[in-house]
Every structure is written in C-alpha cells, then in structure tokens.
Amino acid sequence: MFKKVFQITHSLLLVIAAFAAQATSHDESPSFKALPLTDNISMLQGRGGNLAVLSGKQGILLIDDDFKAMSDALKAELSNYGGLDKLTYIINTHWHGDHTQGNLALGDHAQIVAHDNVRTRLLTRQEIKLFNMVSEPYPEAALPSITYQQAMTLYINGEEINVVHYPNGHTDGDSIVYFKNANVVHMGDHFFSGFFPFVDISSGGNVLKMAANIEAVLHRVDDQTKIIPGHGPLSSKSDLRAFHEMLVGTAAEVKAMKDKGMSQEQAQKEGLSDQWNEWTDGFLSTESWIGIVYQSL
C-alpha cells in the first residue's frame, strides 16, 4: 500500500513541479503578448493560462486572468482596450489559480462568470493532500457572481458568446467558450496545444472524459476556427484533432498495459510508443502522463 501511494505521489509531484516552473521561469518584469485574432478579439499570453479579450462600445469581456503576480501587467494591458472602467465580464474557464487569481484584483470591476463548481471550489478551501497544497477561499469580490449548470449565452459588442460546460475533463467545472460570429473558441485547459496536458483528477478530471469532450468540440468547429488553447500557441482544428488522437492513443496503450496486470510503476517503466515522444516538449514527461492516464482508467 505504501509503495502504491509513493508511486502516485512521485508522478503527481512531477506535475506540480512543472506548474511551479511555468509560474516562475519567465522574465522578472511581467507583461502580456497580444495576438489579434479579429478586429476586436485578441489572445493574451502571460505566465499562466492563455487569456482572450473582446472589446467594443459595450465594454470588455475577458476570459481568464492569470496569476495574481500578473495583475498589474494585466491592468496595463487592458488599458489598450479601454481600461478597467470598461471591464464588464470575466469568464473563468475553471478554478485553477493560473486562470483565476486575477479575480482578486479585477473582481471589483466586472461580473465574474463561471460554472457552478468553480464558485463552489473558490468559495471553499481546496487541498491536494499528497502535496500539502492549499488554496484558501477567495473573498466575495473575487468569486463568480453569475454561474450556470450546462450552458449560457452572453451578448456583447455584436458577438454571441456561448459558454458551455464540458464535465470532468480537466476538472469538474470546465467551460469552453465559443465566439459564434467570429468563429473563435477558447478551450480553457481542455487543450494543451502540442504537449501532454495536466488533468486534475483530484478536482474531478479524467483523461477519458477529456477525450470524449474534445471529440464533441471537434464536431462543432471547422477548419477556419481559431482555437485558443489553455496553454500553448494559437491553434487550428487540425491541432485539436492531433491532441485528441494523442489522448485516445496513449490511453489505449496505458489501458493495454494495465489490462495485462502491470502496475502504474511498471507501465511508467515500459513507456509509450515513440510516436508520442514529441508531446513531452512543453509540460509533462512521459512518466508523469502515464501516471495521470493510469489513474483515470
């Protein structure tokens, strides 16, 4: 029993170490890189998850808001779109701090929108016991004030924005956001473009459910859709399809090893087919990914 717990702990510690490296390995002077996608929609890249901003006469809609340490830089960036006084909505795609800590600085300026489970998690103390990691409750101003169960639609600046819950993929509260008229999609952390994703099993995530959710999204987008991943570069439907194939393919390989009676440690030692080697470039090692898949089965 102790050996099994140690194996799980070691695998997930690698995941947390990757998060920490991502949060601290950038320039000391934080800033955002803006990539215009349409006349009034841009993708912003900072230290945490990718953001999207929609601007216009009716105000600013922001998707996710990065780490707390990026809040001053985010305020400066938003001045290019009208400033904090124009901030109308913030959509949190899920509860993780690299997507929601900006709520602490921006929540007084806008209505925060998220799935019901995001508010529940941010309202309460979150803990991953294996790593002694704790997220304390957010203050009221930083909590989602508008929540939904399955889907909702916002209309602002001539855009129809569909916010859709895809359950138990990355977490239990994931939203994917569709800009219907612009044909732009923000995937949240359902999509790590070009590398193995972190799937938060302790928050209700599951690799197999993520794959099923991605398959559903693939039926909704087309070859012209601009896809903003939670992490990684601006992507296309073909990139998302490749990600789905990786999820399905690696899950099948790990399942085959588990069905043979191999333990997680044995499966990690065995490894995956060489075709998946390129997916280690940005975030997780093959060993860490096998651990996440194994625990999802």
> Looking at the predicted structure, is the pLDDT value of residue 207 above 70?
yes
Reading phi first (left if > 0) and then psi (alpha if -120 to 50, else beta), residue 140 is in: alpha
* 54 within 8 A of 87, measured Cβ to Cβ: no
| Token pair listed for 39 | 């006349």
Q: Which of 34-48, 93-107, 120-134, 276-290 has the lowest mean pLDDT?
A: 120-134
pLDDT at 10: 44
When pLDDT is averaged across residues 132-153 and rounded to a whole number, the result is: 92
If one counts the domains in the chain, the total is 1
Q: Provide the greatest CA pair distance for the chain.
A: 60
> Looking at the predicted structure, is the pLDDT value of residue 135 above 90?
no
pLDDT at 126: 78
pLDDT at 3: 40
* 48 within 8 A of 30, measured Cβ to Cβ: no
* 136 within 8 A of 210, measured Cβ to Cβ: no
Task: Look at residues 117, 107, 109, 51 and name the one whose alpha carbon lies nearest to residue 82.
Answer: 109
pLDDT at 132: 59
| Token pair listed for 270 | 């065995």
When pLDDT is averaged across residues 266-283 and rounded to a whole number, the result is: 93
Q: Tell me, what CATH number does 114's domain have? A: 3.60.15.10
Which residue carries 């997780």 as its tokens? 284
> Looking at the predicted structure, is the pLDDT value of residue 49 above 70?
yes
The C-alpha atoms of residue 141 and residue 53 are separated, in whole angstroms, by 21
Domain housing 198: 2-296
pLDDT at 70: 97
For residue range 229-241, list pLDDT tens digits in order.
999 999 999 999 9
* pLDDT, greater one: 5 or 291: 291
pLDDT at 28: 59
When pLDDT is averaged across residues 32-51 and rounded to a whole number, the result is: 97
pLDDT at 33: 97
When pLDDT is averaged across residues 137-152 and rounded to a whole number, the result is: 97
Confidence of residue 26 (pLDDT cuts 50, 70, 90): very low
Query: What value does the mean pLDDT of the chain take?
Result: 90
When pLDDT is averaged across residues 234-250 and rounded to a whole number, the result is: 98
DSSP string, the chain: -HHHHHHHHHHHHHHHHHHHHHHHSS-SS---EEEE-SSSEEEEE-SSS-EEEEEETTEEEEE----GGGHHHHHHHHGGGT-GGGEEEEE-SSS-HHHHTTHHHHGGGSEEEEEHHHHHHHHS-EEEGGGTEEEPPPPGGGS-SEEESSEEEEEETTEEEEEEE-TTSSSSS-EEEEETTTTEEE-GGG-BTTSPPP--GGGT--HHHHHHHHHHHHTT--TT-EEE-SBSS-B-HHHHHHHHHHHHHHHHHHHHHHHTT--HHHHHHH---GGGGGGGSSS--HHHHHHHHHHH-
When pLDDT is averaged across residues 2-27 and rounded to a whole number, the result is: 43
Q: How many residues does the chain have?
A: 297
The C-alpha atoms of residue 161 and residue 171 are separated, in whole angstroms, by 22
The C-alpha atoms of residue 259 and residue 261 are separated, in whole angstroms, by 5
* 12 within 8 A of 291, measured Cβ to Cβ: yes
Confidence of residue 223 (pLDDT cuts 50, 70, 90): very high
